């Protein structure tokens, strides 16, 4: 038989074997399907940075028309849920107990001062424990006041001084829904799990069970072995990505503005980089326990914290930013954010893809060199 | 007496095992330290060095003044000066800048004529959180500019209307590092405790020594105590160390009482020891125990309010988080550190922990004997 | 079937292999071994664990690189052309290397694909292999659900999938029941006769050496002898004797007395009699046999006798152990362990089916059977580690699963694989187990001192248990189990993975403890060890095959006119009977 025919026969055998094993082994299914789905739902529902219905106490010491008008605007906001407090001390009590996250105090001279054309103050106290949330609440609150003021200006209620107004426009994510950036980032995490953890575990398992020795003693070449281990889990990872994509778009309403072809193509590059890393781990480690430990420490944690999928990398100190450059997930988070929210912007996608492709090649070549047809 | 004697032997053995094994020693010190610093520095929501571009079509003294007040703000970093609106697309799309401030050609004229002058801000929304926070900062700066303007032009004619005066309690400068770092002790001690306890039983199961323990005249309660104590002790040690680190290294204020801190941490760690023992009772190998811990830790962190607020979750999920021990300790720690809670104040967080500890520990003890293969 | 230059298929030339240890001293697995294997010939590598057998076979299969020297297979160098060799060689690793979650057919398909067997040839090839191995009816069964013997045959079928020119078998018969072992040998011979294939196999079973055409004895990485097995036995002529124990003494008492005496290299119990191997120089003094009058009969030497004489006995031969003070129990022959219609199911799988037996005080009671027979399950139920699905167990009158911790304090337990805390030192292990069983103060230090001298552990007190050599691990485990002077001793596979010398030493000690009134319950898959038990239960596939004294059981297989059968013969007869009745 010709060498190529023998090669295809070997690949057929290995792939069939891997597929049967994946199908019959509950832990592969758990890692490849259950865990990603659990993560997706957890993130989709459990992780959100959008404050809505923030409970706020309002103390109205002034009952004039402008105060009541302002109040009506507050009540109509979807960001806040107002609760009227009798006095400032009651509101402060609520804040300390955690019943409300903020206090708005309309002082008794509000109407009078506005009528006199003097600046009137609205006091706001925010619970600053969760600083990010506090900032967002602050932003919403200022936005509310501003719209109210510009409306008053239009109506000519108060002859206001000329002033600078802001016309903000948030591109790609008009309503600034945090889910739109969290869920595409999460897909990175899921692919990392399958690519690194699962790939490293299945090979370590062959060593532990003694089946690797039987494989090595056959005419299987190193290249065959590498390919046979990459291909099935590559398909699994891409399937996980596809599934996540469907859930993200249909259930969570995340927009996909780029093309599906680009998404799958670039995901494939990232998947190969992850798998290369997983293979490298498994070439060095033949015990499942240690392989799992290293995959989590060196694969999962950096993909979570140093990739920008939740925390903004540009705001971190320089050493952390520098460290993040060796994390493949960082580049794919940028790719998936752009693809989902902005579209096929090749000037953004290309550099990231090139780096990922470089990493994939590097890891694969290293893994190929490390894979040995010998036991030592 | 005999029981105490046996128990002492068991405890001595557990500690020797952990302290003798370089890998276990490392688990107690290495990863927690790394996590402490990575979390402390990388897990922040503060927005810094926001790269922005400017398109000033007005080129007046006023517009320059407004833009100058922006460039002096430390959160922003100007990267480009644009000359036409057609450049905006490109610079945002390509992520060369995260926002563009566009001052229109009639800016100063409008202001002088007493008409509102709008400044357009175009923000890259790919990270919606950064977008919102950056917008908030710009709102502050523009507000300040308005007030200064009003003061200067106050020829007594009329007023700028409403001015909001905002104050943040407990964290006046709104440092998100305080928010993350104050809860870190809970998170890291959870990881350490889960790994120490779940692996300690799984390791013995894998090497067959667990059978020796079960056949020896230990009662399940003795094994439970022997297996729990190292986790409790090292977990406590780590948690208190990082509480001190939060104050001394990251400068987080400590406003509550030590008693409240120790009591709530102790209850939490005992609960987690129970969870760790449960995981290890259900696993046959160390690898399963490790993955089991991982599978527990991940959702438990996501659903704890440690990184993202519980209040933003749907109602049913918020109710579900009440079963998560980490949620309670994170709330307790933040109240102790930042809000100055004492023991009675954190009681609402402590009793659910105690209840969960009872459930997890008794189940684990029962499983010791009834799940052997 | 001789080694002529023409039909040499494998040639090992001054082979050295050193494993560099990380942090540990490097291990010299092979030290200049040379040998050859010919086509149409079964060559056996004989040696204890750690002798270097597996290393040699793995180098031949191209899986390891030699440090020095070379192996040529079919004229190809194993370092330079491993892929080419792997095309022509069938290799079965230890534990058979099967995918347990693939069925018989799928395992064979995989190997056929990897070896490039054309699809058109497969039907014929499969049929032939399945018929040969008897796996025909089980092609859809998962490999993990096969018995040890069937796994071994499937492993062999996979190695043979493309009619290799040479077969490498690494410990093919470990943990496999005697019936399957004999079947394997039959298959191997059939192959050699029909196809003229060369077979190189390693084994630690000394009785299997006799079945090879040619053997090489390895010891600690060196080849210490080579030749046809018959030549080995011939050298021993006149040095092997059989002593018939007198009616007043048990065979093991006589054996214990003789073992380790001057001039006696080996003493074992065979079919109720003591077999002695002398050094051929010293005349055996009569005083040895006092107070009994025992006459020595010359016996036909076998390979094992030669092996025991060849192995340099570096360790001081175990003396009859200094015995612990007898536990304060009345020496009645009361029943200590009572088991009635015990059964255990795991899901649909019935691991133990209705066992009933009892163990009397001071008895050595053996649970025998191949791997997977259900002995460990039974044993774990006895110790209270596993709950029974049905039936009753009483150990010292109680079910240990529910008994108080005080009841458990009276027994000693030694788990499979010498389960000790490997990171703790010898002293720390002993201290922990002593205290766990309530020893303290002077009694504890007295017992630890006893353990150090009795088991020769004194010099190794500070060594971590994990760093001990195999034999010492077993000693430490035993010391830990005996520290508190238990009434009943439970030993799970204490001799598996231990070399023949350590196994002999172990049984000598057990004898000693039994003499002191300690009840011993022990499991083993070595059939010949049954001779050391007072009574035994032979299990196969969860069922009782036989129960009684070794003599009773041998009786079951006795046929007129033949020589005295061994326990293994009895097992085979019984196993075949049970298959016949089932069919």
Q: Is C460 exposed, middle or buried (0-12, 13-18, 19+ CB in 10 A)?
A: buried
Which residue is it, tokens 């106490």? A57
pLDDT of residue C156: 92
pLDDT above 70 (res C329): no
Q: What is the ipTM of this complex?
A: 0.80
Residue B326: predicted pLDDT: 93
Distances (CA, A) of C154 to C102, C214, C540: 12, 26, 20
Q: How far apart are the first and last CA of chain B?
A: 32
Q: Is C484 a residue whose pLDDT tops 90?
A: no
Inform me whether the pLDDT recorded for C79 exceeds 80: yes
**Looking at the partner chain, which of A1, A24, A373 has a beta carbon nearest the beta carbon of C118?**
A1
B211 with C405: Cβ contact below 8 A = no
Residue C497 bridge partners (DSSP): none
Cα–Cα dist A300/A310, whole Å = 14
Chain C positions touching chain A (beta carbons under 8 Å): 19, 58, 61-65, 82-83, 86-87, 89, 91-102, 106, 109-116, 118, 155, 158, 168
Nearest-by-CA chain A residue for C85 = A219
Q: What integer best gives the mean pLDDT of chain B?
A: 84
Report how many domains make up chain A: 2
- C160 contacts C90 by C-beta, under 8 angstroms: yes
CA separation for the pair B343, A54 (Å, rounded): 28
**Nearest residue in C to B2, CA atom:** C438
Write down the pLDDT at residue B173.
Answer: 74
Chain C residue numbers with beta carbons less than 8 Å from the beta carbon of B373 are 386
Q: Which two tokens stand for residue B53?
A: 């571009």
Q: Does an H or E element contain B226, and which?
A: helix B220-248
- Beta carbons within 8 Å of B351's beta carbon, 6+ residues apart: none
Using the beta-carbon criterion (under 8 Å), do A374 and C97 form an inter-chain contact?
no
* Nearest of B325, A79, B347 to residue A104 by alpha carbon: A79
Give the residue with greater pLDDT, C535 vs A176: C535
Indicate if A123 and A194 belong to the same structural domain: no
Residues of A in contact with C118 (CB under 8 A): 1
Give residues 335 to 374 of A whose Cβ lies within 8 Å of C.
Answer: 373-374
**What Cα–Cα distance (Å) separates residue C218 from each residue in C49, C156, C213?**
10, 24, 16
The answer to whether the Cβ–Cβ distance between A164 and B66 falls below 8 Å is yes
A106 and A165, same domain (yes or no): yes
Q: Give the separation between CA C283 and CA C262, rounded to whole angstroms.
A: 9
How does DSSP assign C182-203, residue by residue? HHHHHHHHHHHHHH--EEEEEE
C141: β partners: none
pLDDT of residue A74: 81
The predicted model gives C510-534 an average pLDDT of 85
Structure tokens that stand for B292 in this block: 């089991």
Q: Please judge whether C93 and A217 are an interchain contact, meaning their C-beta atoms are less than 8 angstroms apart.
A: yes
Claim to verify: residue A154 and residue A217 sit in the same structural domain? no
The kind and range of the H/E element at C523 are strand C519-524
d(CA A286, CA A289): 9
State whether C408 and B215 contact (CB < 8 Å). Answer: yes
Subunits in contact with chain C (3 or more CB pairs closer than 8 Å): A, B
Q: Which residues of C79-118 are buried (b: 16+ CB within 10 A; e: fewer)?
A: eebbebbbbbbbbbbbbbbbbbbbbbebbbbbbbbbbbbe
Three-state DSSP at C81 gives: coil
Bridge partners for B305 per DSSP = none
Average pLDDT, chain C: 83
Range of the domain at A218: 179-370
> In chain A, which residues have pLDDT < 50?
159
The answer to whether A224 touches A11, Cβ cutoff 8 Å, is: yes
pLDDT of the residue at B37 = 85
Most confident of A85-94, B16-25, B327-336: B327-336
Q: Is residue A49 part of a domain?
A: no
Distance CA A4, CA B274 (A): 57
Picking from A104, A136, A171, the residue at the C-terminal end of a domain is A171
Could you tell me if residue A17 is inside a domain? no
Are residue A141 and residue A201 in the same domain, yes or no? no
Q: Is residue A28 part of a domain?
A: no
Q: Which of B98, B128, B166 sits opposite A138 (nearest CB)?
A: B166
Q: Are residues A74 and A208 in the same domain?
A: no
Contact A214 C109 (CB under 8 A): no
CA distance B243 to B255: 12
Same domain for A150 and A299, yes or no, is no
Q: What is the pLDDT of residue A335?
A: 93
Contacts of A115 (CB under 8 A, 6+ apart): none
- Half-sphere exposure (CA, 13 Å, Cβ side) for C16? 9
Among the partner residues B13, B208, B216, nearest to C437 by beta-carbon distance = B216
First to last CA, chain C: 40
Burial of B347 (0-12, 13-18, 19+ CB in 10 A): middle
3-state class of A57 per DSSP? strand
CA distance C460 to C462: 6
Residue A134 falls within a domain, yes or no? Answer: yes
CATH number of the domain at A87, please. 3.40.1710.10
Per DSSP, helices labelled H in C61-102 are 82-88
Which residues 372-411 of chain C have a CB within 8 Å of chain B? Answer: 380, 383-387, 400-401, 405-406, 408-409, 411
Mean pLDDT of B128-153: 81
Q: What is the mean pLDDT of residues C507-523?
A: 85
Q: Is A346 a domain residue?
A: yes
Q: Are residues A246 and A354 in the same domain?
A: yes
Q: Count chain A–chain B contacts defined by CB atoms under 8 A.
A: 332
The whole-angstrom separation of Cα B38 and Cα B58 is 45
Give the whole-angstrom CA distance, residue B361 versus residue C452.
39
Q: Would you say residue A311 lies in a domain?
A: yes
Residue ranges and CATH numbers for the domains of chain B are 2-43+176-372 (no CATH), 50-152 (3.40.1710.10)
The residue ranges of DSSP E strands in C334-375, in sequence order, are 335-346, 349-360, 364-368
Name the residue facing B209 among C401, C419, C428 (closest C-beta): C419
Are A156 and A217 contained in the same domain? no
Does C431 sit within 8 Å of B17, measured CB to CB?
A: no
Please identify, among A139, A171, A203, the residue that sits at the C-terminal boundary of a domain. A171
Q: What is the predicted pLDDT for the residue at A132?
A: 81
Q: Are residues A133 and A191 in the same domain?
A: no
Tell me which range, A93-97, B84-88, B140-144, C312-316, is most confidently predicted by mean pLDDT: B84-88
CB < 8 Å to C165, chain A: none
pLDDT at C516 > cutoff 70: yes
Q: What is the CA radius of gyration of chain C?
A: 25
Q: Which range (A235-239, C32-36, C45-49) has the least confidence? A: C45-49
A301 in a domain, yes or no? yes
Asked if the model's pLDDT at residue C235 lies above 80, the reply is yes
Q: How far apart are CA B359 and CA C293, in angstroms?
A: 70
- Alpha-carbon separation of residue A193 from A190, A274, A282 (angstroms): 5, 9, 14
For the purposes of burial, counting CB atoms within 10 Å of the CB of B367, is it exposed (0-12), middle (13-18) or buried (19 or more)?
Answer: middle
The C-alpha atoms of residue C441 and residue C423 are separated, in whole angstroms, by 25
Find where tokens 């005999």 sit: B2
Percent of residues, chain B, with pLDDT higher than 90: 17
> A374, C63: Cβ pair inside 8 Å?
yes
Could you read off the pLDDT of C212-232 as tens digits, one per residue?
999 999 988 889 889 998 888
Query: Cα–Cα distance between C549 and C531 in angstroms, integer?
Result: 9
Task: Tell whether C351 is within 8 A of chain B (Cβ).
Answer: no
Q: How far is A229 from chain C (nearest CA, A)?
A: 15
Rounded (5°) CA angle C534-C539-C540: 155
Q: What is the pLDDT of residue A361?
A: 95
Please check whether residues A63 and A151 belong to one and the same domain. yes
Q: Which residues pair with B82 in a beta bridge?
A: B55
Identify whether A27 is part of a domain: no
Q: Name the DSSP letter for residue C73.
A: E
Residues 6+ apart with CB under 8 A from A53: A78, A79, A80, A81
What DSSP designation does C456 have?
T
State the DSSP code for C104.
Answer: H
Pairing relationship of beta strands C349-360 and C335-346 according to DSSP bridges = antiparallel
Please indicate whether, in this complex, the C-beta atoms of B20 and C384 are within 8 angstroms of each other. Answer: no
Chain C residue at shortest CA distance from B13? C432
Tell me how far apart the alpha carbons of residues C257 and C274 are, in angstroms, rounded to a whole number. 11
Q: Supply φ then ψ for residue C331, to 5 degrees.
A: -85, 65
Average pLDDT estimate for C320-329: 44
Distance CA A314, CA A95 (A): 33
| Per-residue pLDDT, B118 | 83
d(CA C171, CA C59): 15
Is A128 close to B158, i.e. CB distance below 8 A? no
Q: Which residues are CB-neighbours of B7 under 8 A, at least 6 positions away?
A: B222, B225, B226
Test mutation, A219, A223, A284, chain C, max C CBs within 10 A: A219
**Would you tell me the crossing angle of helices A179-192 and A260-284 to the nearest 10 degrees?**
40
Residues A234 and A361 in one domain: yes
Say yes or no to pLDDT of C416 above 60. yes
A101 and A217 share a domain? no
Q: Are A62 and A107 contacting, i.e. CB atoms less than 8 angstroms apart? A: yes
Answer yes or no: is pLDDT of B116 > 70.
yes
Chain A CB contacts of B294 under 8 Å are 292, 296
The H or E element containing residue A255 is: none
Which of A141, A171, A201 represents a domain boundary (last residue)?
A171
């Amino acid at each position: 038989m010709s060498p190529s025919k023998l090669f295809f026969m070997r690949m057929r055998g290995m792939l069939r074997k891997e597929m049967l094993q994946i199908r019959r082994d509950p832990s592969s299914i758990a890692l490849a399907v259950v865990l990603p789905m659990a993560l997706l739902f957890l993130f989709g529902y459990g992780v959100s940075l959008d404050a809505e219905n923030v409970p706020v106490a309002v103390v109205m010491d002034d009952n004039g028309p402008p105060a009541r008008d302002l109040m009506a605007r507050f009540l109509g906001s979807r960001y806040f849920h107002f609760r009227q407090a009798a006095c400032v001390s009651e509101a402060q009590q609520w804040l300390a107990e955690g019943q409300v996250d903020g206090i708005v105090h309309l002082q008794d001279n509000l109407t009078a001062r506005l009528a006199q054309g003097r600046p009137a103050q609205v006091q706001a106290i925010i619970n600053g424990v969760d600083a990010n949330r506090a900032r967002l609440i602050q932003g919403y609150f200022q936005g509310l006041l501003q719209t109210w003021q510009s409306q008053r200006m239009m109506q000519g209620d108060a002859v206001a001084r000329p002033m600078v107004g802001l016309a903000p426009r948030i591109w790609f994510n008009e309503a600034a829904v945090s889910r739109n950036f969290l869920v595409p980032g999460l897909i990175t995490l899921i692919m990392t799990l399958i690519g690194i953890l699962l790939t490293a575990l299945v090979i370590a398992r062959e060593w532990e069970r003694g089946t690797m020795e039987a494989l090595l003693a056959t005419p299987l070449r190193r290249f065959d072995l590498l390919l046979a281990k990459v291909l099935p889990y590559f398909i699994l990872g891409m399937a996980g990505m596809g599934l996540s994509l469907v859930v993200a778009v249909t259930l969570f309403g995340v927009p996909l503005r780029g093309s599906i072809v680009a998404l799958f193509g670039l995901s494939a590059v990232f998947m190969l980089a992850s798998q290369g890393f997983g293979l490298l781990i498994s070439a060095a480690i033949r015990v499942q326990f240690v392989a799992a430990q290293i995959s989590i420490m060196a694969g999962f944690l950096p993909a979570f914290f140093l990739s920008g999928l939740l925390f903004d990398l540009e705001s971190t100190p320089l050493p952390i930013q520098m460290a993040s450059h060796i994390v493949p997930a960082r580049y794919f988070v940028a790719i998936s954010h752009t693809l989902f929210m902005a579209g096929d912007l090749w000037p953004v996608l290309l550099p990231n893809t090139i780096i990922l492709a470089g990493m994939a090649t590097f890891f694969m070549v290293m893994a190929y060199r490390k894979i040995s047809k010998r036991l030592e | 007496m005999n029981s105490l004697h046996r128990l002492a032997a068991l405890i001595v053995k557990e500690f020797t095992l952990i302290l003798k094994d370089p890998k276990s020693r490392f688990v107690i010190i290495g990863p927690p330290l790394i996590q402490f610093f990575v979390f402390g520095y990388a897990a922040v929501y503060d927005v810094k060095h926001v790269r922005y571009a400017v398109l000033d079509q007005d080129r007046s003294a006023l517009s320059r003044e407004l833009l100058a007040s922006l460039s002096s703000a430390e959160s922003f970093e100007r990267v480009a000066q644009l000359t036409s609106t057609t450049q905006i697309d490109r610079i945002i799309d390509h992520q060369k800048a995260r926002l563009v401030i566009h001052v229109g050609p009639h800016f100063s004229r409008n202001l002088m004529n007493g008409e509102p002058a709008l400044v357009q801000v175009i923000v890259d929304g790919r990270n919606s959180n950064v977008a919102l926070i950056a917008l908030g900062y710009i709102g502050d700066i523009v507000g300040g500019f308005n007030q200064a303007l009003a003061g200067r032009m106050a020829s007594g004619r009329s007023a700028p209307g409403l001015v909001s005066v905002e104050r943040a309690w407990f964290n006046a400068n709104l440092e998100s590092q305080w928010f993350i770092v104050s809860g870190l002790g809970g998170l890291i001690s959870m990881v350490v405790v889960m790994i120490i306890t779940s692996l300690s039983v799984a390791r013995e199961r894998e090497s067959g020594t667990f059978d020796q323990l079960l056949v020896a005249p230990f009662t399940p309660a003795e094994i439970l105590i022997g297996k729990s104590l190292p986790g409790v002790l090292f977990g406590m040690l780590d948690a208190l160390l990082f509480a001190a680190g939060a104050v001394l290294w990251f400068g987080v204020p400590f406003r509550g009482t030590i008693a409240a801190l120790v009591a709530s941490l102790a209850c939490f760690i005992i609960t987690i020891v129970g969870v760790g023992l449960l995981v290890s009772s259900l696993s046959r190998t160390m690898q399963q125990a490790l993955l089991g811990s991982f599978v527990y830790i991940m959702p438990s962190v996501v659903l704890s309010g440690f990184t993202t607020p519980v209040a933003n979750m749907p109602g049913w999920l918020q109710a579900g988080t009440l079963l998560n021990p980490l949620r309670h300790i994170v709330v307790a720690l933040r109240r102790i550190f930042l809000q100055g809670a004492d023991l009675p104040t954190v009681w609402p967080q402590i009793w659910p922990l105690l209840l969960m500890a009872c459930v997890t520990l008794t189940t684990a003890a029962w499983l010791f004997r009834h799940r052997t293969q | 079937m001789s080694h002529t230059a023409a039909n040499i298929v494998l040639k090992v030339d001054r082979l050295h292999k050193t494993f560099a240890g990380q942090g540990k001293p490097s291990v010299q697995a092979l030290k200049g071994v040379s040998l050859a294997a010919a086509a149409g010939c079964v060559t056996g590598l004989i040696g204890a664990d750690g002798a270097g057998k597996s290393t040699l076979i793995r180098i031949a299969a191209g899986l390891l690189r030699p440090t020095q020297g070379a192996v040529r297979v079919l004229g190809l160098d194993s370092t330079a052309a491993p892929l080419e060799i792997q095309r022509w060689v069938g290799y079965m690793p230890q534990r058979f290397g099967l995918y347990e979650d693939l069925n018989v057919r799928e395992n064979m398909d995989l190997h056929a694909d990897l070896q490039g067997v054309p699809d058109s040839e497969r039907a014929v090839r499969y049929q032939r292999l399945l018929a040969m191995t008897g796996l025909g009816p089980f092609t859809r069964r998962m490999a993990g659900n096969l018995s040890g013997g069937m796994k071994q045959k499937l492993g062999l079928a996979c190695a043979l999938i493309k009619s290799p020119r040479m077969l490498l078998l690494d410990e093919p018969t470990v943990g496999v029941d005697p019936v399957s072992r004999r079947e394997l040998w039959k298959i191997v011979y059939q192959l050699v006769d029909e196809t003229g294939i060369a077979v190189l196999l390693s084994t630690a079973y000394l009785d299997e050496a006799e079945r090879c055409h040619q053997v090489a004895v390895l010891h600690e990485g060196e080849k210490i002898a080579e030749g046809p097995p018959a030549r080995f036995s011939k050298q021993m002529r006149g040095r092997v004797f059989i002593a018939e124990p007198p009616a007043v003494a048990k065979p093991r008492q006589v054996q214990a007395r003789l073992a380790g005496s001057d001039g006696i290299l080996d003493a074992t119990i065979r079919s109720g009699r003591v077999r002695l191997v002398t050094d051929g120089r010293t005349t055996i003094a009569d005083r040895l046999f006092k107070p009994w009058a025992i006459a020595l009969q010359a016996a036909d030497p076998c390979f094992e006798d030669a092996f025991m004489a060849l192995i340099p006995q570096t360790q001081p031969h175990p003396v009859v152990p200094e015995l612990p003070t007898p536990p304060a129990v009345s020496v009645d022959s009361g029943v200590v362990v009572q088991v009635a219609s015990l059964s255990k199911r795991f899901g649909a799988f019935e691991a133990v089916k209705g066992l009933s037996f009892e163990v009397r005080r001071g008895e050595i009671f053996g649970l025998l059977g191949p791997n997977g027979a259900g002995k460990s399950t039974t044993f774990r139920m006895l110790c209270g580690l596993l709950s029974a699905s049905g039936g009753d167990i009483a150990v010292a009158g109680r079910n240990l699963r529910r008994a108080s911790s005080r009841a458990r304090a009276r027994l000693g337990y030694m788990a499979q694989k010498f389960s000790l805390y490997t990171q703790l030192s010898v002293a720390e292990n002993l201290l922990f187990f002593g205290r766990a069983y309530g020893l303290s103060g002077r009694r504890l230090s007295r017992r630890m001192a006893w353990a150090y001298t009795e088991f020769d552990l004194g010099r190794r007190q500070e060594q971590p248990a994990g760093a001990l050599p195999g034999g010492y691990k077993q000693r430490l485990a035993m010391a830990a189990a005996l520290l508190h002077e238990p009434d009943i001793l439970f030993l799970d596979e204490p001799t598996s993975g231990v070399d023949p010398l350590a196994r002999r030493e172990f049984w000598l000690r057990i004898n000693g403890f039994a003499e002191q009134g300690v009840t011993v319950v022990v499991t083993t898959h070595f059939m010949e060890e049954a001779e050391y038990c007072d009574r035994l239960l032979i299990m196969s596939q969860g069922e009782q095959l036989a129960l009684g004294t070794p003599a009773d059981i041998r009786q079951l297989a006795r046929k007129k006119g033949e020589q005295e059968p061994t326990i293994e013969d009895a097992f085979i007869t019984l196993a075949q009977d049970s298959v016949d009745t089932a069919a």
